[in-house]
A = this chain, B = another copy of it.
């Protein structure tokens, strides 16, 4: 994560310069680059379980931005891949595990926290085994394929007295946090609508994300969950009912087992209505909160970087800049901090369970063509 001095300094710089926002953004960055960061404090050791593209391209490099977390171990079914990556990241040979030897992490004091980055259908088993081995767990979203699996994971962590967090990375980065704060502060008046769209065009038809047993479902489980989670954190409420429609392009080899496109509506207790989309066929990347006086939105809203915020009253339009952080470093340091301080994570297992329950209701609504009530 960006260290706090740099963050505060840059924000103040931006506020002072007003019109020269982008120029000062660059200037503040250059000044920050000359500051020598102090030596890190204590860092907890992390084991990465699953060495797919998310682990390789996003999570491993993120440890360089962490203040409280270090990459300590790998768990993988591919020993060659694990050894190559271990050499790059300085992970000792003794800290490489496969799925059979996984439970022996219990005896490895280098490992405090396990980050489960496996296909969705394996989240429950590897989270439960980690907890039983006495380790804290960060689990990728969706938390599991079913609410029942989520409950098993929560129970296992409780029984072992370990932390369990779901990797809702956006909750740990400043653009999302600023969006939530602006809505809570009713900057644009009381919230009335959430418009949340998340999608991308998925590639290889043979990948696990397109297999029902491994993924639990299609775009909704993988990317539509961002729209759903955003509707919940932007409104700050739990939906009382949902309605959904699905469509998958006939004959497209990617969508033999799972759905391509979903539109869903949520009703919240205050009367806020949400219109959401989920897609494996189209690029969608925008969350907007609409109040009585205007709207605030992120677009892109869920990319790993390059998020942008705009706010409008209908007659005015402004861009708002916020500090840029590595989302994965931010979420990992959050959990390390919780473990060190004995506090609860912002997105615990119960948060993952809620999304699973609502996603099951969305699927039920699309299948049965009717409103599904929640709670």
Query: A residues near B, CB below 8 A?
Result: 189, 192-193, 195, 197, 200-201, 243, 245, 247-250, 261, 263, 265, 267, 271-277, 279, 281-285, 290-295, 312-314, 369-371
- State the number of copies, please: 2
A201 and B200 CA atoms in complex are apart in Å by 34
**Which chain B residue has the least Cβ–Cβ distance from A192?**
B282
> Could you say which residues of chain B place their CB within 8 Å of the CB of A290?
279, 282-284
Contact of A371 among B189, B192, B247, B370 (CB under 8 A): B370
> When A and B form their complex, which 3 residue pairs have the shortest distance between CB atoms, in order from nearest?
A283-B314, A247-B271, A275-B275
**Which chain B residue has the least Cβ–Cβ distance from A201?**
B292
- Provide 16 A-B residue pairs closer than 8 Å at the C-beta atoms, listed in order of the A residue: A192-B261, A192-B281, A193-B282, A247-B267, A247-B271, A247-B272, A261-B273, A263-B273, A263-B274, A265-B275, A282-B290, A282-B291, A283-B290, A283-B314, A284-B295, A285-B314
Tell me the smallest distance from the CB of A300 to a CB of chain B, in Å. 8
**Most chain B C-beta atoms within 10 Å of own C-beta, residue among A245, A250, A265:** A245
A275-B277 contact given A193-B263, A292-B201, CB 8 Å threshold: yes
Known: A193-B284, A201-B292, A243-B245. 6 other contacts (CB 8 A): A243-B243, A249-B271, A275-B277, A282-B290, A283-B312, A370-B371
**Which chain B residue has the least Cβ–Cβ distance from A243?**
B243
Q: Taking chain A's interface residues, is the majority helix, strand, or loop, or is none over half, making it mixed? A: strand
**B277 touching A195 by the CB < 8 A rule?**
yes
**Which chain B residue has the least Cβ–Cβ distance from A291?**
B282
> Could you say which residues of chain B place their CB within 8 Å of the CB of A276?
275
> Could you say which residues of chain B place their CB within 8 Å of the CB of A193?
261, 263, 277, 279, 282, 284
Tell me the smallest distance from the CB of A153 to a CB of chain B, in Å. 33
**A195 touching B192 by the CB < 8 A rule?**
no
A245-B265 contact given A277-B275, A370-B370, CB 8 Å threshold: yes
**A313 touching B195 by the CB < 8 A rule?**
no
**Which chain B residue has the least Cβ–Cβ distance from A284?**
B290
**Which chain B residue has the least Cβ–Cβ distance from A370?**
B370
Tell me the smallest distance from the CB of A173 to a CB of chain B, in Å. 19
> Could you say which residues of chain B place their CB within 8 Å of the CB of A192?
261, 279, 281-282
A317 and B143 CA atoms in complex are apart in Å by 33
A267 and B313 CA atoms in complex are apart in Å by 31
A247-B273 contact given A197-B195, A281-B192, CB 8 Å threshold: yes
A248 and B200 CA atoms in complex are apart in Å by 34
**B247 touching A314 by the CB < 8 A rule?**
no
> Could you say which residues of chain B place their CB within 8 Å of the CB of A370?
370-371
